């Protein structure tokens, strides 16, 4: 299992993580063994947004013998009231709910303390510059939460969070379908009209990923499979099914993304997700699926899919494009981006304009021109 640095937290997280929301579906022992199996396969990050005691107990028991080997993403503002999940900023319920999480998970700390589920302006106002945020900061100062993050499905609010100095990482919903939809304060209505054609990556989402990369705000991914809909041709907004490897690769090729947190019911599903690490380029190829899908219009945009390889001059074209896209959004090229670009070895200046890469691009990107533009921007 490959590890990636999670932004300015400096934590090294497994590329494939564990989204825990399905744990309560099964008998406790089954779910405990599921988490332990994931750990054996190299998974080291788990999300616990769930406030119910059963899910929290399962995670606590599963990681008790190796707590320091796990990175727990625990949420503040997710509460359990009268047997139901309630998102709240009321400190009378927020504090005991978090203390319950801390006690059940064990170890006396939470690695990533998440400001839970900010999707609307009202959510933002009720969380920021209030007693709620004071509590989060207090937990951080005491070392009870090691790092402060935020979870959201709204790219507009995610961008606001990424600009805050105390936000170190963001849990965000990423998949090919979501990326083609504009910001919404109501996630549940985003795909009410499945007949609407999907038209390229939404500019606001694209700019979010670049902003996070530039500010070193790490991203962990939720809803990477769209609740399984993208794995099913009949339910997929594209009218075509993807594989887990393709969706995992899609998420991991977005700038700033460190880990995709998949949901599991069985050890076989864990094995299927972890198999991404040994999958061939053909097995990871999401671009061909998107390009051939009947319900999309997607042209001229680089998705960093790698279809353009190999380059006869040894240029990592996808990475050059990624760093070019990151740099051109700034008034001057950030030194961090320039350093990463220089570290590629073969930069855009090595391009001979053969355009063999363009014949392989599923989206008709004018790669030779982008290489020339990157050479001009970076100066080499």
Residue-level pLDDT at 118: 94
CA dihedral (131, 136, 139, 143) positive or negative: negative
3-state secondary structure at position 217: coil
**pLDDT class for 219, splitting at 50, 70, 90?**
very high
Residue 64: is its pLDDT beyond 70?
A: yes
Residue-level pLDDT at 106: 94
Q: Give 198's DSSP letter.
A: B
Measure the CA angle with vertex 206, ends 242 and 215; round to 5°. 120
CATH code for the domain defined by 3-281: 3.20.20.100
Q: What is the pLDDT of residues 90-118, one digit of tens each?
A: 999 999 999 999 999 999 999 999 999 99
**pLDDT class for 195, splitting at 50, 70, 90?**
very low
Tokens for 16?
Answer: 């494939």
Rounded mean pLDDT, 42-67: 96
CA distance 155 to 166: 18
Tokens for 230?
Answer: 């993208």
Domain ranges of the chain: 3-281, 317-378
CA distance 269 to 247: 14
Residue-level pLDDT at 66: 97
Please classify residue 238 by burial: count the beta carbons closer than 10 Å to its beta carbon, then call 0-12 exposed, 13-18 middle and 19+ buried.
buried
Predicted TM-score (pTM) of this structure: 0.81
Neighbouring residues of 105: CB distance < 8 A, sequence distance ≥ 6: 48, 56, 59, 60, 63, 72, 74
Residue-level pLDDT at 228: 83
Residue 182: is its pLDDT beyond 70?
A: yes
Residue-level pLDDT at 40: 98
* Alpha-helix residue ranges (DSSP H) falling in the chain: 28-40, 53-63, 91-105, 121-127, 131-141, 155-162, 203-215, 244-252, 267-274, 281-284, 287-292, 317-328, 335-342, 356-360, 367-378
CA distance 212 to 261: 18
Rounded mean pLDDT, 130-151: 97
Rounded mean pLDDT, 285-298: 74
CA dihedral (352, 353, 354, 357) positive or negative: positive
Instruction: Please name which of 169, 291, 301 lies closest in space to residue 222, comparing C-alpha atoms.
Output: 169
Contact 236, 242 (CB under 8 A): yes
Q: What is the pLDDT of residues 315-339, one digit of tens each?
A: 999 889 888 887 876 778 878 788 8
Instruction: Please name which of 300, 304, 299, 329 lies closest in space to residue 316, comparing C-alpha atoms.
Output: 304
The H or E element spanning position 179 is none
Q: Within 10 Å of residue 243's Cβ, how many Cβ atoms?
A: 18
Residue-level pLDDT at 192: 54
Contact 267, 41 (CB under 8 A): no
Please classify residue 122 by burial: count the beta carbons closer than 10 Å to its beta carbon, then call 0-12 exposed, 13-18 middle and 19+ buried.
exposed
Residue-level pLDDT at 194: 45
**pLDDT class for 365, splitting at 50, 70, 90?**
confident
CA distance 343 to 333: 15
Tell me what percent of the residues of the chain surpass a pLDDT of 90.
Answer: 67
Q: Give how far the C-alpha of residue 51 lies from the chain's centroid of Cα atoms, to the nearest Å.
A: 22
Residue 295: is its pLDDT beyond 70?
A: no
Q: Within 10 Å of residue 183's Cβ, how many Cβ atoms?
A: 18
Rounded mean pLDDT, 1-17: 97
Q: What is the pLDDT of residues 70-87, one digit of tens each?
A: 999 999 999 999 888 989
- Mean pLDDT, the chain, rounded, equals 90
Q: Name which of 9-13, 19-23, 55-59, 370-374 the model is least confident about.
A: 19-23
CA distance 312 to 301: 22
């Amino acid at each position: 299992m490959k590890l990636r640095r999670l932004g300015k937290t400096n934590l090294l997280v497994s590329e494939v993580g564990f989204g825990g929301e399905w744990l309560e579906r099964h008998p406790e022992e089954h779910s405990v063994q599921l988490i332990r199996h994931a750990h054996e396969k190299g998974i080291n990050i788990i999300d616990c947004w769930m406030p119910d005691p059963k899910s929290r107990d399962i995670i606590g028991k599963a990681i008790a013998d190796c707590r320091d080997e796990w990175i727990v993403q625990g949420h503040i503002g997710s509460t359990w009231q009268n047997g139901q999940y309630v998102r709240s900023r009321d400190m009378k319920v927020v504090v005991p709910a978090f203390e319950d999480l801390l006690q059940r998970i064990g170890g006396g700390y939470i690695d990533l303390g998440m400001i839970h589920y900010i999707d609307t302006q009202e959510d933002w106002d009720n969380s920021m510059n209030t007693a709620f945020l004071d509590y989060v900061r207090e937990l951080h100062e005491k070392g009870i939460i090691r790092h402060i993050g935020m979870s959201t499905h709204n790219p507009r609010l995610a961008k606001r969070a990424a600009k805050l100095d105390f936000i170190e990482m963001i849990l965000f919903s990423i998949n090919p379908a979501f990326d083609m939809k504009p910001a919404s304060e109501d996630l549940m209505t985003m795909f009410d009209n499945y007949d609407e054609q999907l038209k390229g990556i939404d500019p606001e989402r694209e700019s979010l990923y670049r902003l996070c990369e530039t500010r070193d705000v790490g991203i962990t991914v939720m809803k990477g499979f769209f609740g399984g809909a993208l794995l099913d041709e009949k339910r997929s907004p594209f009218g075509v099914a993807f594989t887990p490897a393709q969706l995992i690769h899609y998420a991991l090729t977005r700038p700033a993304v460190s880990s995709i947190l998949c949901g599991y019911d069985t050890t076989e599903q864990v094995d299927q997700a972890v198999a991404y690490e040994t999958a061939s380029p053909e097995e990871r190829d999401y671009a061909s699926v998107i390009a051939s899908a009947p319900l999309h219009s997607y042209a001229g945009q680089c998705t960093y899919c790698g279809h353009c390889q190999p380059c006869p001059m040894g240029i990592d074209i996808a990475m050059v494009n990624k760093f070019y896209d990151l740099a051109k959004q700034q008034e001057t090229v950030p030194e961090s981006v320039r350093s990463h670009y220089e570290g590629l070895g073969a930069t855009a200046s090595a391009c001979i304009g053969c355009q063999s890469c363009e014949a392989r691009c599923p989206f008709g990107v004018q790669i030779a021109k982008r290489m020339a533009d990157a050479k001009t921007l970076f100066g080499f």
